Amino acid sequence: MANEKRTLSDANLFDILGPMQINFASSSIKGVPLLSYRDATLNLNFEDEDITRLPTPAGGQLVTVTLETVPDAFDRTLTLVLPAVRLTMGDTVEFETFVVETFDRSQAHVVTPGPRGALQSYLFHQVKATAQAVNF
């Protein structure tokens, strides 16, 4: 039996199950990132420029989408914190991470001088996730 060398690849497909369901593909058959989000009240799909991705100093990434905009009141965003994951093509790895919901009222329309106090509030969700490296 020959010693077969298996090449590692960066994960490009992530599934999160928790208080919400999130599926994130950093690439797709369309050639752009895709993210789907579902909770008790929302069922949303995002692609390409609707998704903001920022690298973290440790090698992972922050993936952010806007879930809800209430004019003159607040924006609700969701940020998925993803570690760097390397694995062989087709394999699945389980890990834990967290999701941050941000409620930003900095654009709230109120009389001058504008909104007062903390302009953002946060909800943190610890979630279980899986990562895969797949060919699109």
Interval 105-128 mean pLDDT: 82
Cβ atoms of 33 and 40 within 8 Å: the answer is no
User: Which segments of the chain are extended strands (E)?
Assistant: 8-10, 13-17, 21-25, 34-38, 43-47, 52-55, 61-70, 74-82, 86-88, 92-104, 120-132
Mean of all residue pLDDT scores within the chain: 90
The two tokens of residue 77 are 């965003």
DSSP state of 90: T
Name the nearest CA neighbour of 102 among 124, 130, 132.
Answer: 124
Per-residue model confidence (pLDDT) at position 1: 42
Summarize pLDDT for 40-66 with one digit per residue, the tens.
Answer: 999 999 999 999 999 999 889 999 999
